Amino acid sequence: MKLDLNEQPHRRYNILTGEWVLVSPHRTKRPWQGKQEKTVTDDRPFYDKACYLCPGNKRASGDINPNYTSVYSFKNDFSALLEDTPSTTIEDGLLVAKGEKGICKVVCFSPNHSLTLPLMPVPSIEDVITIWQKEFDELGAIRDINYVQIFENKGAVMGCSNPHPHGQIWSQNSIPQEVIKKGEQQLRYWQTNTKSLLGDYLNQEIKANERIIWQDKYFIAVVPYWAIWPYEVIIAPKRHLQRITDLTDKEKASFAKAIKVTTTKYDNLFETSFPYSSGIHQAPTNGLAYDEWHFHMSFYPPLLRSATVKKFMVGYEMFANPQRDITAEQAAQTLRSLSETHYLT
């Protein structure tokens, strides 16, 4: 009896982490009587005098923001990591701790308090990528900084503490767990095949053309086969690149377009300012080559059925492994069918 991936429960393997996700497509037929929320309107002014991130305003630290006119980055006033933390290890039987030093930055995408990435023109998103590249280079060059994590939490539901569109960059001494897992999987494949694991996967996606939501000559946006979140997307360069600093100007413009299209389709899906966490995974900055690494950007959005119904990691997901109902193919078909023009324009 042949397994029907669109109708029957099955597990899918994540080639980048070595982990599995349970897919239960038959559950999409179940009625929803769970939590419903009111739709939150995202009507913000160009400038908010009470916003800590708007140009010219005073931050909580007492520092005054310059009257910036484009992208603006600064050291986080409430950094999760500190530069002067001692790298001491404490061991007490089975209790082990080690000091972790690092530097955290905030990146304001625009001086406009209301302008999220999907509403920004592509050249302005290119400016954001340019700042990411600059910060990656400068932070990664610092002794004892071995990894630079670029990410964005969009929306209050994702824990964003300030509505002004911005992202963060955390750089640190150790290499984070998710990066280690992806690095190990890519290295194993590279050593066996002398080819990029993600590159070969993208070529297979291009041939299948089932989960792609956008592509051009340089970049591709795809709902990964092993997606956990309902409308999860990976954006990746078609060329085998270890870091965002390896991009040509044309590739950077393509990357910006991929971000613009993906986030616009997200907003268009339920006609709301779509929340998500996004992050870029790339090679560490500890001086090694990491030929196996293929950089990529992932989007993890929680919305499931509407602007008010979210996907939570609870129960089975907490105690066993991740699970999803709609298949990656269904999610991709939905996103692919949506306009690349924002519903507000």
* Measured distance CA(242)–CA(180) in Å, rounded: 15
Q: The tokens of 337 are what? A: 């069918």
Which whole-number Å values give the CA distances from 188 to 28, 192, 239, in the listed order? 36, 6, 20
Q: The tokens of 125 are what? A: 């998103």
* Measured distance CA(275)–CA(160) in Å, rounded: 10
Task: Check if the beta carbon of residue 342 is closer than 8 Å to that of residue 268.
Answer: yes
Quickly count: other Cβ atoms within 10 Å of residue 189's Cβ: 20
Phi, psi of 342 (to 5 degrees): -65, 140
Q: Which of the following is catalytic: 26, 113, 164, 166? A: 166
Q: The tokens of 133 are what? A: 């590249």
Beta bridge partners of 281: 296
164 belongs to the catalytic site: no
Task: Check if the beta carbon of residue 223 is closer than 8 Å to that of residue 205.
Answer: no
**What's the longest Cα–Cα distance across the chain?**
68
Residues carrying an active site annotation: 166
